Amino acid sequence: MKNKLYKTLRGKGYSKRECGYAFSRWKKLPKSNFRFYLQDAEWHIKWLRDQAYIGTLAYQGIAYFWNHEYRFSLRDCKDSERILVHDAFLREALNLSGKSPRHNEILNSIIPNSI
């Protein structure tokens, strides 16, 4: 099954390294869950790519970038809202993992009742 997953992921355009990253998460693959493992592998590859996009306009809203204080409001919101917050922090030249009254204002304007 690992070969079938590998061929499917490579056919979708993922690199050998990204496929290796996805496969290193599992020890043994049961034959009955191909679709689950394919979706899980794709999600982790997208998360890995998104880690590199933090701080750029290519951020996709998957990876975490925020301060510990904002964890509940940003973890529970939509990816699109995370992108808006991320881009607003960049426009204001704020530290992405920082904490300030301006961070709170931006969060409250994009995600009502967040703080």
CB–CB of 90/55 below 8 Å? yes
Give me the pLDDT at residue 95, please: 94
Give me the pLDDT at residue 35, please: 86
* pLDDT < 50 stretches in the chain: none
Give me the pLDDT at residue 66, please: 92
Give me the pLDDT at residue 88, please: 95
Please report, for residues 50, 83, 99, the alpha-carbon distance to residue 41 in angstroms, rounded to integers and kept in the order given: 14, 23, 33
How far apart (Å, rounded) are the C-alpha atoms in residues 43 and 48?
Answer: 9
Please report, for residues 16, 32, 51, 67, 85, the alpha-carbon distance to residue 98 in angstroms, rounded to integers and kept in the order given: 35, 45, 17, 6, 13
Give me the pLDDT at residue 114, please: 63
Using the Cα atoms of residue 70, residue 76, residue 77 and residue 82 in order, give the sign of their dihedral: positive
Give me the pLDDT at residue 30, please: 66
pTM for this prediction: 0.80
Give me the pLDDT at residue 9, please: 92
Q: Break the chain into its structural domains and give their ranges.
A: 2-53, 68-110
Residues in the chain: 115
Distance of CA 39 to the CA centre of its chain: 14
Give me the pLDDT at residue 46, please: 92
Give me the pLDDT at residue 92, please: 94
